[in-house]
Amino acid sequence: MRTSLLRRLATVATALGLSSAGLLGAGAAPAQAALGDCPSGYFCAWKTDNGSGTMYKTNASVATLGTWDNTFRSVMNRTNKFACLYDDANHGLDGGIGVMDPNPSGTEWGGPGSNSVSSVKFVPTERECAMDPYPEWYAAQAPKAGGFGDLNGDRTSDVLVRDMAGRLWFLPGDGSGKLIGAGGWNVMNLLTRHGDLSGDGREDVIARETVSGKLWLYPATSTGVLGARKLIGSGGWNVMNSVTAFGDLSGDGRSDVLAVEKSTGKLWLYPGTSTGTLGARTLLGSGGWNSMNALTAPGDMNGDGKADLIAREASTGKLWLYPGRTNGFGARTLMGTGWNAMASLLAVGDHNGDGRNDLSATTSSTYVSPQHRGAGALVMYAGTGTGTLGAGSLETDTWWHLNGAF
């Protein structure tokens, strides 16, 4: 079946927002023999519009195509990776880039829309056709060590990112990325961090397993790598709409977890224990919390020394601050409006190095500002220390085609 899987990126700039390709006309259906000639695990190309005639095939990236340069008219990708088709040799980014999804079954084919392909590369995620597998993250050094959001203790806010291939990346704040999970993280349908449940002085990561509903604790290390996981919830956590690693709310010096129940909208507190597990839950909110479509724990936003909660209201896009109190929250205050234009919220402490916790957000397709339109950008909102946020500042537009950041 001919498909519009192949997309073109006219320049590196437009690589930040993929557009649909103008494919060749449908033409005659390719002969079944021609389709069948493309072996499993290979990328194949033909010089004709209908996938017939002499066939080119490769299962490895190719920097120059030799006699096949600028001749592809029909293509099929039977590998398990994305096929990047470059107008330039050596996978150059000055010209256009076509992207074809993996289709090991060989049921789909397309055409680059021109005879301009000069090199081919295979990558695990679509974004790697034009950039690194992880986004840019730059953070200033905080005034003191051990700050909220610092995983490795270097006084810089860190970020963990999961890509679409299920790999986990550690971003230390200098623009680089380190692979800390080679794959398999897509079996988790929730990832959250903040607070030290394991008692080693570093922030930990909590993950919920999709199939079983089990809750796992992954302790952080001084290198940003995660240690051996520990089961902290034997099952049943899929009844929760959200699970948020919060920090210390109960006032006992141990980190706690918040969860919103799907069926009731109740907000529950699960206190951390001295053994790195969770204690008996207590009710914080009797209902209505399902009206929020994003919860994040930003640490202390209003300067009272207690961890706070930020929540986005689904129906209005309003952003609310719930100030932390011992075993609960005080009266909420409005932080902003229009936040439904954001795909996700990211709270990792002091981003700009002024000693106050900040809030960042990734944009959705509905986002519009003078600096950026659409998905894929990271916007930072500086915390004032009084429970409000400064104006948004566009940090980078490399945050697209990811599967979560925290």
pLDDT of residue 118 exceeding 70, the answer is yes
Say which DSSP state 239 is in.
Answer: G
pLDDT of residue 359 exceeding 80, the answer is yes
Say what the pTM is: 0.89
pLDDT of residue 395 exceeding 90, the answer is yes
Are residues 356 and 374 in contact, defined by beta-carbon separation less than 8 angstroms? no
**In the chain, how many domains are there?**
2
- Are residue 177 and residue 75 in the same domain, yes or no? no
Question: Nearest CA to 392 among 339, 317, 355?
Answer: 339
Beta bridge partners of 278: 272
Answer with the residue of higher pLDDT: 63 or 113: 63
Residue 83 lies in a domain: yes
Which domain covers residue 280, as residue numbers? 159-405
Are residues 184 and 195 in contact, defined by beta-carbon separation less than 8 angstroms? no
How large is the average pLDDT for residues 345-366?
A: 95
Q: Give the pair of three-digit tokens for residue 1.
A: 């079946």
- The enclosing domain of 369 has a CATH number of 2.120.10
Residue 139 lies in a domain: no
Contacts of 33 (CB under 8 A, 6+ apart): none
Give SS3 for 403: strand
What's residue 159's pLDDT?
Answer: 95
- Are residue 168 and residue 315 in the same domain, yes or no? yes
How do residues 9-65 score in pLDDT, each as one tens digit?
Answer: 533 333 333 322 333 333 333 444 466 789 999 999 999 888 889 999 999 999 999
Residue 112 lies in a domain: yes
- The enclosing domain of 25 has a CATH number of 2.60.20.10
Long-range contacts, stretch 394-399, CB < 8 angstroms, 24+ apart? 394/369, 395/136, 395/138, 395/360, 396/135, 396/136, 396/137, 396/138, 397/16, 397/372, 398/16, 398/131, 398/132, 398/135, 398/136, 399/135, 399/362, 399/363
